[in-house]
Amino acid sequence: MTAPRWTRDNWDRAPINRWSFQHVREIVPTAEVWRGREPASIFPRAPRPIEAITYQGEAGPSDIGRFLDATFTDGFIVLHRGAVVAERYFNGMNERTLHLSQSVGKSLIGILAGIFAARGQLDVDGLITDYLPELGATAYKGAKIQHVLDMTSGVAFDETYTDPYSDIGRIDVACGWKEKPVGDTRHWPNSVWEVIQGLTQKEAEHGARFAYRSIETDVLAFVLERISGLRLPEIVSRDLWQPLGAEESANYTVDPSGYALADGGFNACLRDYARFGEMLTQDGFFNGRQVVSSDWVRKCRFGDHAKFTGDYRIATPKGAYQHQFWHEDHTTPVLLARGVFGQLIYSDPAAGFTAVKLSSWPDFRNNTLLRETLAALQAIKRALQES
C-alpha cells in the first residue's frame, strides 16, 4: 500500500485508516512488546471453504464472501476446536502485519488483572487508592479495582469520539495521537496520567451502573505498573506474549511520558490476536500452560445485564460487560473483545470457536456492521458444528 497524505488530525479516521491501522509505527512513537526467544506456538490447520456459507444479513440474505468484502475487512481468522479453518487477508495486510486493535487491547488488561490477582498481587475488592494514593484527590476516591474492571465507577467521563473537546478527545492529545485544537490557548494534558488526575467529578455512585469509559483501562494499567515496577509493554511481553508463543513482537503507542496507551494503542498481527482469543476459548490454557486461571476467565464471561442499559443494548440487546470484555448475550459464555472501526475477537468455549476480525470501518461505531459481523460469525459457527 502506498502511504496516503495524512496529518495528525486525520490519520486515524476514514479513509486514511485503511492504510494507517497497518502502519501505526510510521505515524506515532511506539514501544515494543517483545515476543521472546522461544519458537512460536503452532496452530494445527483444517482448512474449510467458508465463503459460500449463507446467513440472514441486515439487508437480506448474504454469504461470508460478500460479508468480508462489504465490511472493510483487513484480516480474518477462524479456529474450530483449536485448528485454523480459515485465514484471510485483504487491503494489503499479510501474516506479519501489525494492526491497530483499538479497544480490543482493553481485554488484554482485564486478563493481566487476573494474572496479578492469582499471584496475590492485586485485590479486586481493594480500593484504587490503595495502589494509586494520588487519586484520592479525584473522583476515583472510594472506587474499587472491580469498578474499573467492569467500568462501573461513577466517574464522569465523556466518550464522544467526534468531539475534540471531550474527555476522550483530551486523551487523543495527551497520548500523542493528536495535536490540540488550533488556536486553543487553554492548558491541555501532556500525558494520560494528567488526564486521570483531572477527573474530579462523579455522575453516579461507584458500582451503580455500567458506562463505557476508556480511561478506566488506563487506571487499571497504572495500577499494574505500580505493583510490578514495570512498564506495560514489559508486563504484556512477560505475562502474555511470551507465554502465548506469539509469532511477532507487538507494540503500543506511547505518550510523551513513555506510558503505553492501554485503552487502545496496542498493535499485533492477526495470528497473535487469535492466540489470545483461543486462550480464552480454552479457559485460559494455551501453548502447554495455564496463562491465566480458568476461574478468572469464567468470571469474565458473565456480566450484570441489569447495569447494561441505554444505547449499549442497540447492537447486543442481551449484552453485558465484565472484566474489560463485552458479552453478546449475558446468558451464554461468549466473550467479545471489541474496538472501534470494527476490531473484534470472538470466543465461544461451548462451540470450541474463536474468530478475529480486523477492520477499517469508515465509522467509529456502526451498530449495523456490528450486528452483521455477529450474524456472520454465528453462521460460520453453526456450519462448523454441523459438519
Task: Fill in the DSSP letter of residue 246.
Answer: -
* Helix spans in 229-326 (H): 232-236, 242-244, 270-281, 294-300
Number of C-beta neighbours around residue 14 at 10 A = 14
CB-CB contact of 248 with 32 (8 Å): no
- Cα distance between residue 189 and residue 247, in whole Å: 36
Q: State the catalytic residue, choosing from 103, 237, 359, 360.
A: 103
Cα distances (angstroms) measured from residue 19 to each of 23, 31, 52, 178, 345:
7, 20, 28, 17, 21
Picking from 358, 30, 13, the residue whose alpha carbon sits closest to that of residue 178 is 13
Cα distances (angstroms) measured from residue 188 to each of 12, 165, 183:
20, 10, 12
* Helix spans in 144-231 (H): 145-150, 167-174, 192-197, 215-228
Kindly state the helix (H) or strand (E) to which residue 128 belongs, with its residue range. helix 128-131
For residue 103, indicate whether it is catalytic.
yes
- Cα distance between residue 253 and residue 223, in whole Å: 19
Picking from 352, 345, 330, 377, the residue whose alpha carbon sits closest to that of residue 282 is 352
What burial class does residue 85 get, using C-beta atoms within 10 Å of its C-beta: 0-12 exposed, 13-18 middle, 19+ buried?
Answer: buried
Active site residues: 103
